[in-house]
Structure 1
């Protein structure tokens, strides 16, 4: 994975969350019909859930690796499962909750990434992607929101 701009790892994560929340602002207009993308089903709630889960999952990995521990394996059902909660209407209150949840997660990521040296970002402890690559991987979480689309 290579960086193609001067974007910092923190900006990659906060920018992704900004994009998701920009799309989510129109999801209160959702008509209740799930989007079928690739071999999966997406709804506003599912997109928010997947973005949050992805941020939490990789944050746990980053913190474990910094502590010298092996990351815990995740047991998410990920996007393979669409729950009844995923099918609920997406209200203004849901949008407010999503903004709070994702904005806070993005700040945790940005604060952590900004404390790491270039050496730590590129030669990260433990097995797996470097922390810079991990942040750029998270940027791809826009896929979930893009699957629901702009409903404004």
Structure 2
């Protein structure tokens, strides 16, 4: 079941592309979080979306906001992906137990074995304030994220 607007986002701790542990609760009280789930590194739509975020990074990583991008890839794959594309924000690995966090947020596709395109905007207290879920082939609109962040 998908996490609903108005509810507390499930906490998690995952490794980023550098093998460092990142927990959602580490941002509580300090930053709003854009939590973005995407299917796989190195795929066309995902790469396009993450590059668009990179190109508009000041909107998504600043003193008030932290972007966390989560996929079911291994941290090793994510490191190469981040280096190749110049991503300076955390790419988190929900690789093992496979898809645990994606399942908690209701965005794991059991048949395909990966997360669908789910975005959750969380306020500084960790409450979900906005969300959008798109199918695997459908890119998301970054302008919607910017508007949702402005409303916090």
TM-score between both structures, scaled by the size of structure 1: 0.28
Q: Which has the higher strand share?
A: 2
Larger Cα-atom Rg? 1
Which has the higher relative contact order, 1 or 2, with Cα contacts under 8 A spaced 6 or more apart?
1
TM-score between both structures, scaled by the size of structure 2: 0.28
Q: Which has the higher helix share?
A: 1
